[in-house]
Amino acid sequence: MKGNLAASAIVVVLLIVAPYLAPLIHLDVSILSEVLLMAIAAMSVNLLLGYTGMLAFGNAAFFGLGAYGAGLSIKYFDVHFIVATIIGVVAAVIGALIIGPFLLRRRGIYFALLMIAFGQVFYFIAYRLTDVTGGEDGMNFPRPWFGFSAWHLQLRDQPFYFVMLAIFIAVLAAMWYLIRSPFGRTLVAIKQNELRVRYLGLNSDRFIFVALLISAAMAGLAGALYSLLIMFAFPLMLDWHQSGDFVLTVILGGAGTLWGPLVGSIVYVVGKDIISTITPAWQIFLGGLFVACVLAFPKGLLGTTLDLLARRGIRVEEEPAVVGTLESSRAK
Amino acid sequence: MLEHAAPELFNGLILGAFYAVVAIGLSLIMNLTGTVNMAHGSFLTLGGYLAFTLVAHGTSFWFALIIAPLLTVAVGILVERTMMVPLYRRDPVYSLLLTFGLSLIAEEAYRLIWGSRGVPFSPPADLAGGVTLGFMQFPTFRLFIVGVLAVALGLLALFLSRTRFGLRLRAAVQDTEMIAALGTNTQILYMVNFALGIFLAGLAGVLAAVMFQLSPTTGNQLLMPAFVTVIVGGMGSLYGAIAGGVLIGLAISLTTLYIPAASEVAMYVLMAIVLLVRPRGLFGEEGIFG
């Protein structure tokens, strides 16, 4: 436990000094902010996929709803940064309340299919409501208010990164607490053996529904902040390809681990940034990353590392959902 | 009223036939192996491009119509044997991610090989022009599309219901372990089943290349409606996929006629209504996918 806390502290210190080190390797600070936001989005998927065992292949819908919720409220009502973020989160949760009932009781790939399909509705709405959302081209909006004076945050600079870092740590702490709470333990139990959970008299559908709402709120938060970072919202944020990238990020880092999404996000965002400056055909490398991750690192980078440590006799205390237990009782 | 609606309904039927064929390919693979093949659209596109390349090199359209899907199947089997087999026993998320990654690679590769702009692919001279049937004129090639897809699905239905191999395939969907214990080589079942799904995709790809414009994303544009088709028709049911495909094709063509802006959203509304009335979809089979 002490070791875990020390390791976490080291990571947090690294995240604090990161913006001062990034220029040394020619990384833009906004890339670091993107890493944190991608990590939050991946954590939203991790809650469903890694801890509850649900194939969440549609979280981009919530991510995009957050982005459009924040963007539209600034564009048309010029609201404060915090208000815009909250509106984005609320929009995402409303989206989950609408499609959630259709997903209830579905498991395995049926859940995945329905989530992909229903998530696409929001994509087409954003795509078609050209007058409001700008359609395919997306929409620009001005830099939001921040603080209580007319001081406008320099969004691409370090202050924004530190705001993001504070939010990221808060989300991470909430996640840590959530997974250790009775609610979180029940989610993990559902992943391991849902039938037993039901025999204990717990309504697993209700737990999954609440997990979906929490996941949507987190994805919406990430989407809202991301649109505020780039001052832009576009339909592809809602597309299922974006969902696929989230799932990749989770698996790449290590599903069912607290820090996995951050690890995956660092590799994904920084890798994409570097490769896209080298070649326009970066999509091949992204696809290759999917294939390599599935075939070579199914437990993710963090999961594989922890396995190696364990083999050398170094046991790191892990979360209740032990790394790599994606293979659960859930069969076809 | 009918004069306007009739051609649109016919177009809807063609769209529906494409959706149904793609959806049946997806269903075959999903039912047996629990794999959602996100790369199905890429195989469809590959079939189209291969046919395009064959015709450009002087072969006849008819030759390409058969050979291009077979070449696509060869690629499909290679992918299945080398990459997907190890994933069958693992969580479905892995095969989902793998095929998703493959579709990203494929799309970019097509762009590098054949360019990102759509390539024109016109129907052979015998099938150009139109046929007047009763009150309206039908483009011959579109009638041909419906005919070919209907024949393909008919043969598939016969294969699955009348041959020993087809029966084994269906039995394996119910209980793979039992069929293996009774002495059937399930690996061959997996391979042939995957090949059947890919053949349908390749065949649809050749026809789609002529019907729509052929571009690196042609197949992926058909993938999402095909997912909806599987859900509307009911997971596990092949006849459901046909009914679902036609229903969605008609819904899309009618909304395109009357409310163009809602044409994509229409199929999701249809899906929501169907699921509210019949939670398993129109012909969903109990037991497969709870």
For the segment A9-26, the average pLDDT, to the nearest whole number, is 83
Closest residue of chain A to B99, computed from CA coordinates: A291
Give domain status of residue A321, yes or no: no
Give domain status of residue A105, yes or no: yes
Closest residue of chain B to A293, computed from CA coordinates: B98
Asked whether the beta carbons of residue A102 and residue B275 sit closer than 8 angstroms, the reply is yes
Give domain status of residue A218, yes or no: yes
In the predicted model, is pLDDT for residue A332 greater than 60?
A: no
Share of chain B above pLDDT 70, in %: 96
Work out how many domains chain B is built from and give that number: 1
Give domain status of residue B126, yes or no: no
Instruction: Pick the more confident residue, A24 or B154.
Output: B154
Structure tokens at A196: 């037993």
Which chain B residues are closer than 8 Å to A329 by Cβ? none
Residue A254's alpha-carbon distances to A45, A262, B42, B242, in angstroms, are 12, 9, 28, 40
Closest residue of chain B to A291, computed from CA coordinates: B98
Residue B1's alpha-carbon distances to B4, B5, B262, in angstroms, are 5, 6, 20
Structure tokens at A34: 């993107």
Give domain status of residue B225, yes or no: yes
- Domain hosting residue A195, numbered range: 28-311
Give domain status of residue A329, yes or no: no
Give domain status of residue B256, yes or no: yes
Asked whether the beta carbons of residue A286 and residue B93 sit closer than 8 angstroms, the reply is no
Instruction: Give the pLDDT confidence of B79-109 residue by residue, as tens digits.
Output: 999 999 989 888 888 999 999 999 999 999 9
Asked whether the beta carbons of residue A284 and residue B104 sit closer than 8 angstroms, the reply is yes
Give domain status of residue B49, yes or no: yes
Residues 6+ apart with CB under 8 A from A57: A112, A115, A116, A240, A243, A244, A247, B96
d(CA A113, CA B96): 10
Shortest Cα distance, chain A CAs vs residue B19, angstroms: 14
Give domain status of residue A21, yes or no: no
Give domain status of residue B282, yes or no: no
- Domain hosting residue B26, numbered range: 2-115+134-277
Give domain status of residue B285, yes or no: no
What ipTM does this complex have? 0.87
| Predicted pLDDT at A149 | 47
Burial class of A158 by CB neighbour count within 10 A (0 to 12, 13 to 18, 19+): middle
Asked whether the beta carbons of residue B108 and residue A284 sit closer than 8 angstroms, the reply is yes
With cut-offs at 50, 70 and 90, classify the pLDDT of residue B289.
Answer: very low
Secondary structure of residue B138 in the 3-state scheme: strand
Work out how many domains chain A is built from and give that number: 1
DSSP character at residue B119: B
Q: Of A263-277, B110-124, B187-201, where does the model show the most confidence?
A: B187-201
For the segment B273-287, the average pLDDT, to the nearest whole number, is 81
Q: What is the domain-level CATH number for residue A287?
A: 1.10.3470
Residue type, position A328, single letter = S
Give domain status of residue B74, yes or no: yes
Give domain status of residue A317, yes or no: no
Give domain status of residue A165, yes or no: yes
Asked whether the beta carbons of residue A124 and residue B100 sit closer than 8 angstroms, the reply is no
Give domain status of residue A7, yes or no: no
Shortest Cα distance, chain B CAs vs residue A281, angstroms: 7
Q: Are B30 and B194 in contact (CB under 8 A)?
A: no
- What element of type H or E holds B136? strand B136-139
Average pLDDT over chain A, rounded to an integer: 86
pTM of this structure: 0.90
Give domain status of residue B122, yes or no: no
How many contacts does A have with B, using Cβ atoms within 8 A? 129
The beta strand positions in A91-165, using DSSP E, are 139-140
Which chain B residues are closer than 8 Å to A283 by Cβ? 104-105, 107-108
| Predicted pLDDT at A229 | 86
For the segment A197-214, the average pLDDT, to the nearest whole number, is 94
Closest residue of chain B to A284, computed from CA coordinates: B105
Instruction: Pick the more confident residue, B136 or A104.
Output: A104
CA neighbor of B149 nearest in space, from B114, B199, B192: B199
Q: What is the domain-level CATH number for residue B243?
A: 1.10.3470
Residue A270 CB coordination number (10 Å) = 17
Residue B220's alpha-carbon distances to A229, B113, B252, in angstroms, are 30, 17, 17
